[in-house]
Amino acid sequence: MKISIIIPAHNEAKFLKACLTSFVEQTEKPNELILVDDNSSDTTFEIASSFAQKHSWIKVLQRNSSDSHIPGKKVIDAFYFGFQHVSEYDLIAKFDADIILPKNYFELMKRHFQSNWKLGMCAGLLHIEKNGKWVYENIADKHHIRGPIKLYHKACFNKIGGLRPETGWDTVDVLLAKYHDFETFTDESLVVKHLRPTGHGYSVKNYKAKGQALYKMRYGIVLAKIALLKMALQARNPKLYLQGILSFLGAWLKGKKPLVSKAEGKFIRHLRWKGVWRKLF
């Protein structure tokens, strides 16, 4: 199975060397790794280029874009900039530049996809460092495939229509995979080190985008409140909950176009409520 990896990177010099070293040290390397330097002002391009000079399967592209961070859109736009240069593939991935993979990551990923023809998405689990130990980054259910380390089977990627350039892309893709009857799997034995915890950089702007994303995924107001409350508690900032709700209602009043169809939305609400009741009882 041919694996193509795309890493959008904006000012990732602090973590990039460790990240790319973990790719180079894989027991089974991907067929190609395309790093998109997305308008960095640090040494991201130089570091990536030094790896590309030593390893022919690593390519580095430069993209000129706005310095402003648009949640969801900037990273997916950079992903698709790299996607234009992808060779033939069976598995496609969007990875972050602030992770360190275990050496057998792609060896086991291949094994999982080859043993289950219905598997559409697969990943390991993100861990963060606390008091000198690497512990599970507990901001999502362990069955949820996280945005920084996603691998898609080509059939699944095409069926869900690729990635949406908006906040919530890394949730809606999992939900749509299930809607189209693909399975998803997280291998708990694969400990991926997340060098920059997800909560880093949470802001009012992020939560406004999250509230709007929940509306566009057709969550409905009650499910949106539950999701936003959980996020605000994790960020330890109750004010962000209110910002998310106001954003959800604003998107409703403005008639923002949903990311999913009515049928997909109905499936998503059913799936989410099923998860809520399972946790309560």
Residue that is last in its domain, among 152, 175, 194: 194
* Claim to verify: residue 123 and residue 50 sit in the same structural domain: yes
* Claim to verify: residue 72 and residue 106 sit in the same structural domain: yes
pLDDT the model gives residue 203: 45
Domain that holds residue 24: 3-194
In terms of Cα–Cα distance, which of 119, 50, 56 is closest to 90? 119
48 domain-assigned: yes
Task: Identify the band that residue 261 occupies on the pLDDT scale cut at 50, 70 and 90.
Answer: very high
Q: Say if strands 183-194 and 119-130 run parallel, antiparallel, or are unpaired.
A: parallel
Q: b/e per residue, 146-164, with b = 16+ CB within 10 A?
A: bbbbbbbbbebbebbebbb
Task: Identify the band that residue 232 occupies on the pLDDT scale cut at 50, 70 and 90.
Answer: confident
Number of domains in the chain: 2
Share of the chain above pLDDT 90, in %: 76
Amino acid at 179: Y
Above 60 in pLDDT, residue 167?
yes
199 domain-assigned: no
210 domain-assigned: yes
Query: What is the value of pTM for the model shown?
Result: 0.89
Task: Identify the band that residue 207 occupies on the pLDDT scale cut at 50, 70 and 90.
Answer: low
Alpha-carbon span 128 to 163, nearest angstrom: 26
* Claim to verify: residue 239 and residue 189 sit in the same structural domain: no
